[in-house]
Each structure stands twice: as C-alpha cells, then as structure tokens.
Amino acid sequence: MKAAIPVEALGWTSGGEVQASLPAPLLVVAAGGSHTAETILRAWFEGKADHTIRSYRQDLERFASYLSAALGISPPMDINTALAGLFAQSSPSAHEIVLGFRHHLDRAHLSAASINRHLATLRSVSKLGRMLGMMTWYLEVPGVKAEKRRQTAGPTIADVRRLLDATNGDTEADTRDYAIVLTFFCIGLRVSELCALNLQDTDLARGTTWATGKGRRERELVALPAPVIDAMRRYLLHRGSQAGPLFLTRGHARTRGDGRLDTRSVLRIVGALGQRIGLHVWCHGLRHSSITAAVEVAAKAGIGLDKVKAHSRHAAIGTLLIYADEHDRVGTQRTLADLVARTLTA
C-alpha cells in the first residue's frame, strides 16, 4: 500500500489554509436566515463588470423613480427601498406594478430593446430574491415585441462633421465633447465602453487604449487613429494628466466620486450637440455610423466582414451581417424606386 502524498508536495494548501483564503460570503444573512433587498442586490451585482453594474443601476433607478411617482412619494425612493416594496407585494400586485412600469417606458418612447432590458433586469434580480426566500412569486411580465428589422442607420458623414464643428472650441467642455464624438465615430465604442475608459490605460504615444467590451470581463486593446489622439491631447491640456477616468465631469459634479462621466451625461451631451445642428443624435447612432462606414470602406478595399468584426467588436458575425444586409437593401430599394418613378415619364 502506497504512502499518502503530503498535500504540500503537490503545491496545494491544507484545508485550513484554503478555508482561510476563501473570500467573504456574498450575502450577509440576518438573524433567522432572512435577507433584505440590499443583500439580494449586493449578491446579484457580485461578479459583474463595473460598467454593467452602472447600466443595471440606471435601469433600477428608473424603476424606483417610476414607483415613487406612482405612489406620490417625494423625494424618490432609492433602489433598495423600491425593490423591498416590490418584493413585499403579492404576485398580482407585483405584476400590476411591473406592467405599469412597462407602459410608462413605452409612453416615454424608449426602444423595444431598452424596454425589454429594463424588464429583464427586474426579472433577474427578483429571481434571485425568490431563490433566497424573499417571496414565492416570479415575474412573468413579457417584453414588448421588437421590430424584426434592426435600424442600423446613424448620422451621415456630413452630419458627423457638423457635430464636430458644433463643438470645435478650445474650452474644456468643447475639447472634451469633440473628443467624445470623434471617439464614438472613429472607434465605434458603445457608450458604456467610452465611459469606462481610463487615462492610465490609454497610451497616446502608441495610439492604443484598453476597453471593456459588452458582456466581457477581460479588457481588449483598441487602436486609436491619429485624429482621436490629437483630440484627446487637446482635451488633456484642460483635464490634466492625473490617473483616473479619461472623460470627466465638470464643475461641482467632479467633487462627487471619481468624477467619471456616466452614460446619462454622455447621452445628454451628444443629444444637446445634435440639437445645436437641428438633428436627433444618440450615442449608439454614432456607433451605427462608424460600423456602416467600416463596412463600406472595407467592401471597397476588398476586406472581408471577418476583419470588420475586429472594429465593431460584435460577439457574433451574424450581428455585423445585419449592417451589410441593411446597407445593400437600402441601396437596392433606392435604385428600384428610381426606376419605378422613371416609368411615369417614359
């Protein structure tokens, strides 16, 4: 019979050492084994990327604001209080609340994807609450039906030039907003990706930055074209070279937290620039414009969509095909419409 091999010889640690090295438990269990909305939310956030948590928080803050307004509560409830109120409801009451929230989002003219994301957030966090005994029901409120054809059209190249002209000054705000618009268009970042950029992760000498993609925990290296590098350098003359978020808030808002611009602020900035030139512009529209332009220049240069995927950073090439198909469809439809119109004068 062979002698037992000591765990130390295998490079392992003993059971006591392993137990000591384990991270703290995710949930703080109250006396009697019960949980609160706060502990449920903390556990639900565990393991998610920072920019993902920020997005979920914004969805839940919108729900808290809706519920506060519906109940006539002022000031509005925070997320934990709103979730605690939802979890305490009976199944019919909880579903009535969430159905009302869905109707509220629809009346606010949010896209089907945005509405369904808000509902999915509530379903997911309430599912964990049910698993841990806070209630016995689970949300069955369905999402809204999305259009089968995805809108991939963003601002035209001429519109992007007008946006840049609208913020081409030398103030801190102008140089920051100019760099934001140019970064959206040239690199095709999502708004959460742009907000998560850090100066210490950006090497302007080499023309690179590290970005955290959608649904990913690992960062990826993204190349910066010369115009973006120049725009960032102009902005850094005002911002300074201290480590931290690349794009900062201004004024009193910078004294709160690390001063990072959040997605709502960037949405407002881009929307306000669009209003200056009489257009409805949104951040993801600039990403659409970037990817559409990449598809067009790649086709002219004989570059395949598998290479364009490196620019769009889509998880599946099938999503990128939507851009190519939509571009071809619109061009074909326009040609046929012109030919049909000509029959009237033939």
CA distances (Å), 133 to each of 36, 79, 88, 175, in order?
10, 19, 11, 51
249: region left, alpha or beta (phi > 0 left; psi from -120 to 50 alpha): beta
Cα four-point dihedral sign 123, 125, 126, 128: positive
Residue 296 half-sphere exposure toward CB, CA atoms < 13 A:
13
Residues 281, 273: contact at Cβ < 8 Å?
yes
User: What is the Cα Rg of the chain in Å?
Assistant: 25
47: region left, alpha or beta (phi > 0 left; psi from -120 to 50 alpha): left
CB atoms within 10 A of CB 329: 11
Give the active site residues: 190, 214, 284, 287, 314, 323
CA atoms of 119 and 266, how far apart (whole Å): 23
Residues 245, 259: contact at Cβ < 8 Å?
yes
Peptide bond into 75 cis (omega under 30): yes
Query: What is the identity of the amino acid at 49?
Result: A
